[in-house]
Amino acid sequence: MKAFVAGKEVIEKNDFFEELRLLQISCGFGKPLRLYIALEALFGDNLSSKTFEEHKELIAHQGKMMNCGEILWAFELYLHVHTGLGKAYAFDTNTFVICCIKISISTRILFQIVVFS
């Protein structure tokens, strides 16, 4: 997926999803790992508020039909692998809230995430 993304200035949402979905079918992994792979392909070690804002539509599209636990699992794995991000991952709350709403996290869970983080 990194090769698919590399060198493209504009990544079409449907093309990205289709490529990732074909990889998912051929390798037999679930939705949470698909979201993690999307995070890896789009951000690598470079997750920031700015890069997240640029690709939030692609991430939101990957998160459709996923429950909160699956979404958080993907982000947790991403942070586990990229331990150097640390505080850099704490992008602004507005960006996170907008993305979570687009990914369909319930407002109660969203409130807990924002308040307790």
pLDDT digits (tens, 9 = 90+) for 23-47: 999 999 999 999 999 999 998 888 7
Burial class (CB in 10 A: 0-12, 13-18, 19+), 66: buried
d(CA 78, CA 75): 5
Structural contact between residues 92 and 49, judged by C-beta atoms closer than 8 angstroms: yes
Burial of 23 (0-12, 13-18, 19+ CB in 10 A): middle
Has residue 9 got a pLDDT over 90?
Answer: no
Q: Report the pLDDT value the prediction gives residue 23, as an integer from 0 to 100.
A: 92
3-class secondary structure, 2: helix
Choose between 58 and 112: higher pLDDT. 58
Quick one: pLDDT band at residue 22, thresholds 50, 70, 90? Answer: very high
The answer to whether the pTM exceeds 0.75 is no
Longest dimension (CA), the chain: 40
Name residue, tokens 């039909």.
65
Nearest to 66 by CA among 30, 96, 40: 30
The two structure tokens encoding residue 1: 């997926």
**75-112 pLDDT per residue, tens:** 888 878 887 775 555 555 555 555 555 555 454 455 45
45 or 7, higher pLDDT: 45
Q: Quick check: 39 and 75 in contact, CB under 8 A?
A: yes
